[in-house]
Amino acid sequence: MELVKSFKQSKLLKFVFLALIGSIILAVSSKIKIPFYPVPMTMQTLIVLVIGIGFGWKLGLVTVSLYLFEGIIGLPVFSGTPEKGIGLIYFTGPTMGYLIGFLVAVYISGKFNYDNNLVKNFLKLMLATSLIYILGMSWLGSLIGWDKPIFQLGAQPFLLAELFKILIATLAINQIKKIKKLI
């Protein structure tokens, strides 16, 4: 009985440790700005997909939730923090829909089964990423008004970079899936 209790505790500790490491990697990815056309890109959406594929949907949701919690309580983990504010004020700003979209994307990318079909895998990851933008633009439109060019402001500048990151994740799926085997 004691052995079972010890095993459960070590498994929970490993789960918490992985979620913490994943949230740190996600925070670091939000700070990396890579020159790209037409706007610099961060690596957050790529890392969200990697977390989903590598951790699975359960640990992925815990990881992204922890990241969002860290940002909401004021840690400067979000892209643009602390320069553009921190905490709940920043979270409920123009990017909130995208940040909530991370939860949906990590869930979807973690639920899918991936095989060696690059086209299918690319489309699955495109769907997961698209949900980030759908939620992001929905929140942005409700915040700034639907009379504004929401797609041009909230998605179009990032599309080329997103396709590039989805391609990277697609080509690396077999490597990323190895993470799940270690968990």
CATH of the domain at 94: 1.10.1760.20
Distance of alpha carbon 123 from alpha carbon 109, whole angstroms: 11
Distance of alpha carbon 177 from alpha carbon 71, whole angstroms: 28
Quote the pLDDT of residue 182: 81
pLDDT at 4 over 70: no
pLDDT at 5 over 80: no
pLDDT band at 84, cuts 50/70/90? confident
Q: How far is CA 114 from the centre of its chain?
A: 18
The amino acid occupying position 76 is: P
Distance of alpha carbon 95 from alpha carbon 127, whole angstroms: 19
Q: Is the residue at 129 inside a domain?
A: yes
The domain in which residue 78 lies consists of: 10-182
Do residues 52 and 105 lie in contact, with contact meaning Cβ atoms separated by under 8 Å? yes
Q: Is the residue at 4 inside a domain?
A: no
Nearest CA to 23 out of 51, 54, 53, 46 is that of 51
Q: Is the residue at 1 inside a domain?
A: no
Distance of alpha carbon 49 from alpha carbon 119, whole angstroms: 16
Q: Is the residue at 15 inside a domain?
A: yes
Give the global pTM.
Answer: 0.92
Quote the pLDDT of residue 37: 76
What would the pLDDT profile of 41-69 be if each residue is shown by its tens digit?
899 999 999 999 999 999 999 999 999 99
Quote the pLDDT of residue 11: 87
Q: Is the residue at 136 inside a domain?
A: yes
Q: Is the residue at 97 inside a domain?
A: yes
Q: Is the residue at 36 inside a domain?
A: yes
Tokens of 165: 């990151």
Domain count for the chain, please give it: 1
Across the range 118-145, mean pLDDT stands at: 97
Quote the pLDDT of residue 36: 81
